[in-house]
Structure 1
Amino acid sequence: MVKAVCVNGLKRPAEGAGERQAARKRRKAAGGGREPGPEEKSSCLSAALFGEDCEISRDQLYELLKFAALGKCHSAAQPSWCRIYRQSHLAGVVVIVLPEMSQLHFYQFYLQFRHLRKVFRHRFTLTPSANFLASLYGEGANPKPQNTAQGLTSTSSKSSDLKCDPIFQKYGGKKRGLTSYILTSEELNKYDYPIKGSTRWKGYVCTGCDKQRTDSSPLFGLDCEMCLTAKGNEVTYVSLVDARGQCLLNELVKPQSEVVNYRTSFSGITEEMLLPVKTSLSDIQTRLKKILPRDAVLVGHSLNNDLQALEVAELNLEMLLKAENLAEVSKKKDALQPQGCRVQQQLNEPPHLSKPCFLECLQVTGQKPLLLGRQELDSSGLCQSNLSTSNKQILQKALEDVPLSTFSIIQFSLGPENISSRLLAELCEKVGSKLTDMLTIYAGPFEENFRLKSVKKKFGKCGPIQCLTVVTETYQPYVCIQYEVLEAAQLAVESLNGAEVAGSCIKVQRPVTAAMLDCDVLIKELELDVENEGVIYVAGLKQSVTEKDLQEEFSQLKDLEMLFLPKDLQSAKHRNCCFLKFQKSQSAVDALEVINGWTLKGSKLRSRHALASGHLWRWIWQMNHSNGKQRGNIFYKKMQQLPDSEQDLKKKVKKLDNHIQKLYRSLQNNTLCVVLFPGVNSTYGSQSGLGLMGIKGDRGRSAC
């Protein structure tokens, strides 16, 4: 019997083995993926996702999907925030969307998402969107507004979406001149821009840009790539463009010191590329001084780091355009549109013409994306759009049709009963409460006349402390210590339980609450999380230690890939801890043995395996500071049963994870799979989204 597959309301016979083979040939001809032969290397994905670099915008996500689906053969640019190696070998792209869910849901039901946390090694925080699918397609798409009575979110206008934007709230919607967006002297100092006259930047070369800036001052986009040498970060590549995208400088640079790590996966620079290069840093400094006019305004991403590496200082304190505002300012003024390292001037260009529809881009190549879900996902006729009434039916259709498509969007749904503001508020409260409990430990008993300062000093060696209070309700005093990172609390439990502190042999334990009964299980699963492979936590750093000091100290460690030094989001000062990411898990294990007991500037270091994924630093900090003070002193809490609605939600989440597992197993090797929790906007508040991604069969950077 021949099955029938419903496509846009018409029925056609299901494709057999011969037609499937023909479909694969069509995909190859259209520039899509192909199955690798026995001698070929697979596609692989590399992304430097740590701390603030983990927050990805909708445009950046669009950038990734466009390159993965189209590739260089259709003029799609490599994404700026990650890198796909051998894109032409991709067998396809599958995007799984969980529309009612956010980052909050993933970590509330962390243990239920067993498959997701064990398969996808790359994760990022996703800015929430009121009309996520439209943003996924790219500008120009016109999805049909959805019926809220069916549990679907209606399309919000661009104006209402802009009003929620922090840049819009700061600068307003009125047209402003260029000088309104230039950094102030306070901001320059806060973000460590090199300033002439400061002893910290002694020896730096000045650009000579000393003329007053006006709204018509010329813009220049600057970008640098660095490698790690015995000296620290040194420039290996410099690019400078003007506001029209014209390239003014595009040079490889020879580092002065011996190179420790070329950071090829991020910069694209290799040892072979630099062998014939004779251009020095001083040559680049001279050329920059000649090119830049006296009233130039520099634009860039992490421009402070680039200027430090170039050893270039500015003469005027108010000359640099804040990189974080550039993209948003560009859209609202319709004057500048950054693409990769280019800066294009698009004055008087209508906003709706700035970017073609993603679906239209695919159609040009002869591809027709597949969209599956409970709602009508597209009304433009550019997709094979199939409606189903249950997640089980969606899964069945996906298992049949995804292998025949080069680009698929699969949308599973929890249903309208699980997206209420009340339930979201309860989840937020529970996650915040459990997080606070995991960050909190109790130490004691102490003698009546013990010194709190001694306790703080001892426990501070395990990591940054949020607050510390004395518990006097007990027969002998105890101390409640709330940390800012999970690793610090766990390190204190492991290393100080039974130790002598402030003259007493103490016990160290976490709070006794219902939510903490599975704490040991959760800690173990966090350690085994695929995103934490090869990542270790290091504590005991003095405040005087700089990132350069750490790079020099740890440069001798084998296979060190990245160093992340968390900073307080209010004071911008670094905490007394850092994270090290290694290319190989065994190298991280070896580093633990070396670092434990290591002394840096008179301070003994402590380390352990990482628990919190790289994208969680900012989220944990915000949750900790907003909720921690209210819950920090609570010792015993009433054990409560979860409401029926949450119990039901837990079962549905587990089924969703099983559905995604079945779909993932059915995918061909070399398929890029992206799972998206778009985030939630409700009357209770906004919750950031979460993205997980990986290429099936990707064995990590060693395969690249």
Structure 2
Amino acid sequence: MVKAVCVNGLKRPAEGAGERQAARKRRKAAGGGREPGPEEKSSCLSAALFGEDCEISRDQLYELLKFAALGKCHSAAQPSWCRIYRQSHLAGVVVIVLPEMSQLHFYQFYLQFRHLRKVFRHRFTLTPSANFLASLYGEGANPKPQNTAQGLTSTSSKSSDLKCDPIFQKYGGKKRGLTSYILTSEELNKYDYPIKGSTRWKGYVCTGCDKQRTDSSPLFGLDCEMCLTAKGNEVTYVSLVDARGQCLLNELVKPQSEVVNYRTSFSGITEEMLLPVKTSLSDIQTRLKKILPRDAVLVGHSLNNDLQALEVAELNLEMLLKAENLAEVSKKKDALQPQGCRVQQQLNEPPHLSKPCFLLSASFLECLQVTGQKPLLLGRQELDSSGLCQSNLSTSNKQILQKALEDVPLSTFSIIQFSLGPENISSRLLAELCEKVGSKLTDMLTIYAGPFEENFRLKSVKKKFGKCGPIQCLTVVTETYQPYVCIQYEVLEAAQLAVESLNGAEVAGSCIKVQRPVTAAMLDCDVLIKELELDVENEGVIYVAGLKQSVTEKDLQEEFSQLKDLEMLFLPKDLQSAKHRNCCFLKFQKSQSAVDALEVINGWTLKGSKLRSRHALASGHLWRWIWQMNHSNGKQRGNIFYKKMQQLPDSEQDLKKKVKKLDNHIQKLYRSLQNNTLCVVLFPGVNSTYGSQSGLGLMGIKGDRGRSAC
């Protein structure tokens, strides 16, 4: 697995009420596109998105959108996977959705998406959704959009009447008891709650909470933090509070297996914190059984995952309270805080050690309407009474853009859809794109070295080229007059480093040439490598190779701690063996600090091994995606496909032009946004007969000058 370690933390500076008020006045007076002055406090976004931490679920995306749009004053909590500083200074939120497009499309047409890759410095892999826009409305939601003269869809609310509240729409205004808001048996199975008696949960400890629940049953808030071990997810932190906010359990837990990733950026748990801990999972299970009465009702955020990690099951889990309805219960019972129970508030823990108890599982846009905000939806699709999208292909992307330029400044939250049309997302074309991207990645990871003498030692070649990075496979090519060696690496940086440093070098007694495969797809390889280096996501990130297996993460932290402005260390690890891959990535707060570090590290010796370094090409989510594609597509692809497909079909040539226009539309819309606007671009992902393609998210705050400005 992979692991990211934060080296330097960043604390949010305190702001007084007068300062916030003055900043709001300045922001209100500011015009769109104006850069903030040195005295103006602007919003900024921070996210440690590396390796497995870059895969974001729909619920985590909701966390971000809810906090950005509503803020703390509406019981919204900071998202668990990133952080918005000075949220109250945000001028608005704009979400751009590209239906039926995935991470695959972004990298197949990487050069055409010029604006996206130049502007958005934060990217993440998005769990694919069959109908992403409908999911934003929530299951069972029934919004009533209005059609404009141009055939566009606009959703707004002119009243914050309590009758618009989703709780009242679903349950009415009549007072109900606690048991009216419980999960059914079907919902328990659907959301993977552990149930006693099921073979799947064999070996789980039963809580003994088998008594019938009533409207007077006691509520308990449960929250867990997990780390990744060789066994899987294991609990590292458990907290339990009662309905009055009294802390009943607040314990760190020692994992049973070796920890692969502490997930510090999400949980706040570090290796040092767990070193003195003796409490085991069985200790926690015993204490929970003693604390919880037989008719206890558990409340939590992603409670199914917490119960699975605790290996706890009970007979009547259908009595669990639905998290999204707890706010309504709090009004009636006065047992919980009116604005939502948060474990962090009850336990007085730092923010990074806890999560909010409630998910945003009701209609997101309805929540905005209830607070008096006017959400805007523009696109080729509108929602019918079932919440599903219906096509309205008479509307063009150009018309959508023109309407967006007019209406987005009038709304605090906007969703804009640009579509390439169904004719450009057929299963056949998707399969071709998948094959092309996979083949091109394989070719970019592959180099040919030679010629060598007939009696050369392959071990010497492997040792020399292994210093550039992890090798996936190495084979001897015998079809040539003299033998060559085909080397396929696991990371792009390793292949590029080999081409740059070993071409013309003497290896195994021969002066060799190092080159990539000569195929039609590789003709623009140099251009692509250059653009990847200049990608805004790779600013301040460098790649370091030549690490011995005996080098530990602690060794690296101590060795590189002297480097100026070092923010994070990312050490990739193998999924099967959990050993590191003889390379790492270093992220710096400033680009110049990364450049300076390159000069220092090249030639640096660590435990007898000479280190090599270069600018990063595939940090964050792309590193993980390449690894997955590389391993799922086999050890090495042939070039037969490119011999057949050297002439691109007309449909793909046309798609390239449309993608370029789409990028221009997004650029025009982005330029029109006011500074301090959070902009999120979503490639929702694709589910088809050819398999599921992960989505991609790009995000940034306009005018954000990076973490150093926070």
- Considering the TM-score relative to the shorter chain, is it more than 0.5? yes
Counterparts of 1:556 and 1:211, CA distance in 2? 60
Q: Distance in 1 between matches of 2:619 and 2:5?
A: 41
Of 603-612 and 200-209, the range deviating more from structure 2: 200-209
CA distance in 2 between partners of 1:10 and 1:545 (Å): 28
Distance in 2 separating the partners of 1:328 and 1:470: 68
Following superposition of structure 1 onto structure 2, how do residues 271-282 of structure 1 map, counting pairs within 5 Å? Answer: none
Q: CA deviation at 1:395?
A: 0.3
**What is the DSSP-based 3-state SS (H/G/I as helix, E as strand, rest coil) of the residue aligned with 2:257?**
coil
- Deviation for aligned residue 1:569: 2.3
Q: After superposing the two structures, state which structure 1 stretch, 689-698 or 578-587, moved more.
A: 578-587
Query: Which region of structure 1 is more displaced relative to structure 2, 680-689 or 357-366?
Result: 357-366
For 1:7 and 1:545, locate their aligned partners in 2 and report how far apart those are by CA, in whole Å. Answer: 18
Secondary structure of the 2:279 match is coil
Alignment length, in residue pairs?
A: 704
Query: For structure 1, which segment, 126-135 or 224-233, has the greater mean C-alpha deviation from structure 2 after superposition?
Result: 224-233
1:271, distance to aligned residue in structure 2 (A): 20
C-alpha distance after superposition, 1:509-554 (max 9, x if no partner): 0000011011111000000000000111111112222222222221
Can you list the C-alpha shifts for 1:263-292, whole angstroms capped at 9, x where unaligned?
999899999999999999999999999999
1:134 is displaced (CA, Å) by 2.2
CA RMSD of aligned residues (A): 12.8
Within 1, Cα distance between the matches of 2:656 and 2:595? 35
Long gaps (5+) in structure 1: none
Q: CA deviation at 1:601?
A: 2.0
Q: Secondary structure at the match of 2:25?
A: helix
Q: Structure 1 residues 57 and 10, CA, compared in 2 at 3 Å: closer, same or farther?
A: closer
CA distance in 2, matches of 1:315, 1:496: 64
Q: Secondary structure at the match of 1:346?
A: helix
Is the aligned partner of 1:633 residue 2:639? yes
CA contact (8 A) 2:67 2:76 kept: yes
C-alpha contact 2:164 2:370 (8 A) present in aligned 1: no
Find the residue that maps to 1:234 and give its secondary structure.
Answer: strand
| Partner Cα distance (1:4, 1:194) in 2 | 31
- Offset, 1:133: 0.9
Cα distance, 1:201–1:494 mapped onto 2, change above 3 Å = farther
Cα 1:608–1:203 change in 2 (3 A) is farther
Q: CA deviation at 1:384?
A: 16
Measured in 2, the distance between the counterparts of 1:9 and 1:83 equals: 12
Per the alignment, in what secondary structure is the counterpart of residue 389 of structure 1? coil
Distance in 1 between the 2:482 and 2:248 partners? 71
**1:138: Cα distance to partner?**
3.8
TM-score in terms of structure 1 length: 0.70
Local SS of the residue matching 1:450: coil
Q: Cα deviation per residue 1:556-576 (whole Å; 9 max; x = unaligned)?
A: 211111111112223332211
Between 199-208 and 304-313, the greater mean CA deviation after superposition = 199-208
Superposition deviation, residue 613 in structure 1? 3.0
Distance in structure 2 (CA, Å) of the matches to 1:360 and 1:85: 25
CA distance in 2, matches of 1:114, 1:257: 45
Structure 1 residues 155 and 395: CA distance shift in structure 2, 3 A: closer
Higher mean C-alpha displacement, 634-643 vs 512-521:
634-643
User: In structure 2, what is the equivalent of residue 535 of structure 1?
Assistant: 541
Contact 1:62–1:138 (CA<8 Å) still a contact in 2? no
Q: Distance in 1 between matches of 2:664 and 2:678?
A: 19
Identity score, percent:
100
Does the 8 Å CA contact 1:675/1:693 hold for their aligned counterparts? yes
Post-superposition CA distance 1:302-335 (Å, at most 9, x none): 9999999999999999999999999999999999
1:636 is displaced (CA, Å) by 9.1
136-145 vs 52-61, greater mean Cα deviation: 136-145
Give distance in 2, aligned partners of 1:233 and 1:352: 18
SS in 2 for 1:466: strand
TM-score by length of 2: 0.69
Moved over 6 A (4+): 1-38, 143-240, 242-245, 249-341, 343-357, 380-388, 633-636
Q: 1:27 to 1:627 in 2, by over 3 A?
A: same
* Conservation of the 8 A alpha-carbon contact between 1:44 and 1:700: yes
Q: What SS class does the counterpart of residue 32 from structure 2 fall into?
A: coil
The answer to which of 216-225 and 514-523 deviates more is 216-225
Which shows bigger deviation, 385-394 or 623-632? Answer: 385-394
Residues 313/589 of structure 1: CA separation in 2 closer, same or farther (3 Å cut)? farther
Are residues 168 and 595 of structure 1, via their aligned partners in 2, closer, same or farther at CA, if it must alter by over 3 Å?
A: farther
Residue in 1 aligned with 2:511? 505
Label 1:16 to 1:245 Cα distance change in 2 as closer, same or farther (>3 A). closer
Q: Residues 505 and 431 from structure 1, CA distance in 2 versus in 1: closer, same or farther, beyond 3 angstroms?
A: same
Question: For residues 416 and 190 of structure 1, do their structure 2 counterparts lie closer, same or farther at Cα, with a shift above 3 Å needed?
Answer: closer
Structure 2 unaligned spans of 5+: 358-363
In the alignment, the residues of structure 2 paired with residue 417 and residue 19 of structure 1 have an alpha-carbon distance, to the nearest angstrom, of 53
Change (3 A) 1:659 1:337: farther
Distance in 1 between residues matched to 2:660 and 2:685, nearest whole Å:
19
Once residues 4 and 599 of structure 2 are traced to their aligned partners in structure 1, the CA distance between those partners, rounded to angstroms, is: 61
Give the direction of change, closer, same or farther, for the CA distance of 1:13–1:35 in structure 2 (3 Å limit).
Answer: closer
CA contact (8 A) 1:465 1:484 kept: yes
Q: Once structures 1 and 2 are overlaid, which stretch shifts more, 58-67 or 16-25?
A: 16-25
Please give the alpha-carbon distance, in whole angstroms, between the structure 2 residues aligned to 1:454 and 1:171. Answer: 73
Partner SS for 1:12:
coil
1: CA distance, partners of 2:352 / 2:140: 6
Shift of 1:141: 2.6
Question: Do the aligned residues in 1 keep the contact of 2:32 with 2:674 (CA within 8 Å)?
Answer: no
Deviates more, 1:486-495 or 1:8-17: 8-17
Matched, 1:261 2:267: no
Return the offset for 1:419: 1.0
